[in-house]
Amino acid sequence: MNVLTSITVLGLLIFFHELGHFLAAIFQGILVDGFSIGFGPSILKKQYKNITYSLRAFPLGGFVSFPDEDSNKINKSNPDLLRNRPIYQRIIVISAGVVANLFLAYIILIFNVSTVGIPSEPDPGILVLAVQPEKPAFQSGLQAGDKILKIKGEELGSGDEAVSSLVKEIQKNTTEEIQVTILRNDIFKDLYITPLNVKGKGTIGAQLQPNIKKETFKTKNSLELFNFVNKEFFSLLTKTIDGYKGLITNFSSTAQQLSGPVKIVEIGAQLSEQGGTGILLFAALISINLAVLNSLPLPLLDGGQLVFTLIEGLRGKPIPEKIQIAITQSSFLLLVGLSVVLIIRDTSQLIVIQKLFNQ
């Protein structure tokens, strides 16, 4: 059920992204001839005001179709075609999906904070969320649920600063053993971890977060509510952007942390076990990730289409079709290849973890 919930949430977020494109076109009077929920063969189909609405066999996401895509059935000089509209209107349509996902994430955070409240200040230490099999953290005996309180005998403190301090210490130690003091089942224990050297930086293969209390308190007024939501929203957005930047500046290290569809569904299933709050957090995180991902300047994504449109605006004419096709095909192979690698990697990790639990 948790897996089904995470898949449903992911599908709804992609659908909301496409809905942004659809509404941006409709409100500007741009011709749209189709709006589909899902992919594959149609299960239900209804035409209304020259737009075909359909529900398809695989309800993960959706797509918007424009008459421009079928040149044999249209008058190419029609001013209401997307390609005949001013550059700024086309940019609005292209950008609307990203804006829709960011807006949705912000609304989700407002709803979550309004109903659940603001979390209390974090306790001292760092909480271990997950440990990757056969990595240094796993080999040292570190387990999910452990609370790391000290490193080399010194208190780590609390909050994001504590996590940052530990990560920096790990990254600069690529050969030396690090002593950490953990709390597990009310028992203090010292562990010794030797980070793995990846491109000159140490890594231990553990997912960490501040040791946050479960207690929350209601916001006193709207100002406190929006101050907290703004802080959380821009923190999530900044961290997501930094993660994608790492693919360029430090690909080998960042690629190890990159999650594919299987891992995303697994994370969603884990968060959904926490109830409504976990599902909302998962939805906000993935919605922001979809926005940032689609902003990347790859032809198959909104960012790539935006680049093509901006270049057309500067040149006064579209990029030659042969060049667009060549770039798009290369982008397709890159995205498909990356997706396949991530799916294989994430699936194999899940199999390893399952075997460990079954031993």
The catalytic residues are 18
Nearest to 145 by CA among 131, 159, 156, 160: 131
> How buried is 171 (Cβ within 10 angstroms: 0-12 exposed, 13-18 middle, 19+ buried)?
middle
CA 295/CA 101 separation, integer angstroms: 11
CA 271/CA 21 separation, integer angstroms: 29
Q: Are 10 and 265 in contact (CB under 8 A)?
A: yes
Would you put residue 158 in left (φ > 0), alpha (ψ -120 to 50) or beta?
beta
Q: Are 135 and 232 in contact (CB under 8 A)?
A: no
Distance of alpha carbon 292 from the chain centroid: 8
CA 304/CA 299 separation, integer angstroms: 4
CA 111/CA 287 separation, integer angstroms: 15
Nearest to 157 by CA among 148, 146, 169, 168: 148
> Amino acid letter at 150?
K
What CA dihedral angle connects 63, 337, 302 and 56, to 10 degrees? 0
